[in-house]
Structure 1
Amino acid sequence: MIVEDDENLRVAVAAKLRADGLDVEVARDIATADRALRELDFDCLVFDRMLPDGDAIGYVHARRQQGWSVPVLFLTARDALADRVAGFEHGGDDYLVKPFSVAELTARVANLCRRSGTGRPSVLRHSDLTMDCARREVRRAGVLLTLSAREFSVLEYLLARAEQAVDRAELTEHCWDSRLDPLSGPRSNPVDVVIKRLRRKLHEPELIHTVRGRGYRLGSA
């Protein structure tokens, strides 16, 4: 989750992380973030320090006192050594000073997600299909496949729920924001477009099966 009150920055960072295949929630203040954090689990949090309803390090420190362990990266324009030290002392795992490179931020977020104890297994397997989530590599029968970020995200979601039916709405919700990543024309479903591409790249025998009236299931060949 990204907690940032600058809308342009919030949208830009969220778009880049989604393009890299991550599921992203956004909030503009501590109160909104707190509601989401009490309902959902996250692998990493990016907090701007100075938010409309206070300094985020106070909130993070209080949650750490309650046993909260999710990794946190602080963003701030405050670059003094004392400010950076305060960020770490109050529960931050990483600290990035504005202005910053979005590429550097996404690399730091990916690193924190890998360290998170709530993350998915680093390697997912089903039949002769193997996905290394940390290296972002997919192999079928040992052969390395070239997937787009969106294809990787959809396949990862199906792999994590192998042999379970997953509907199109669920895939859309968790794998991309269609407003930022239009994949198809108005008459086609973007999920179907990605599934078609995945089936072609995975080759035969087919692993992704259509569940009539529901969606798709990653099953046995």
Structure 2
Amino acid sequence: MDLWPILFLVLSGFFLSACGNNESEKDNVVADVSISESIAISSYTIVKDTNLATIKRSVDVILDAELSVEALTAIAVEIKKSDSKKYDRTFIIFNLSTDAPNAAAWATGHSNPNLKIEILRYNTLGNTAAVTGTGKWYENSGLHKASISDWKRAARENKIGTAADWTLSGAPTIKKQVMDSGDFDNLKPFANALVNCIDIAVEGTAVDHQEAAMFAVLCMSTMGWLK
């Protein structure tokens, strides 16, 4: 598998800065309101709100509890309407009040110009338990809550074991395929692919403080596993 296209897609989610059309952004807000107007706005706190002229607005939000995509959409629409300026792009990071400081995003919302909400399910993967069975290769894990710095120093076998756990936890179609086959060795190619994707995505030192689980989610999403 050629992982460079995957890397491009993963990183583009962080660094894409193409400008949209302001009028399209305005029309999109109206459409979002019509969808979410019947949904009660849940409690949230804005802890950071910055912008780069009218090109980009970035907002960090703390939630009291996990919410549905519909509830997050309602919050995102309210946040977009709270500023009279029209931005080409709006990026919202949602974290839970129970998250540790500097934890990876629990969910994100971004418009360029269409609003898209994505629950990354970071907490679920971060608390994944190791699978047990007769296969030796996937019993070496232990990196479920590792930072990228720790991930880089870890042995390949521990990465593969952890990636196997993440795949079973976050990729239901693959899990069913493996379970139906009755052979956990069928999971290993997927675990290897996930490790390769993460390793490529975290090259350099800029993301060493982030959680490896976040990049696992991004890679699985890019490869179409989270369905």
Q: So what's the TM-score if we normalise by structure 1?
A: 0.27
1 or 2, which has the higher strand percentage? 1
1 or 2, which has the higher helix percentage? 2
Q: RCO greater where, 1 or 2, for CA within 8 Å and sep 6 or more?
A: 2
Q: So what's the TM-score if we normalise by structure 2?
A: 0.27
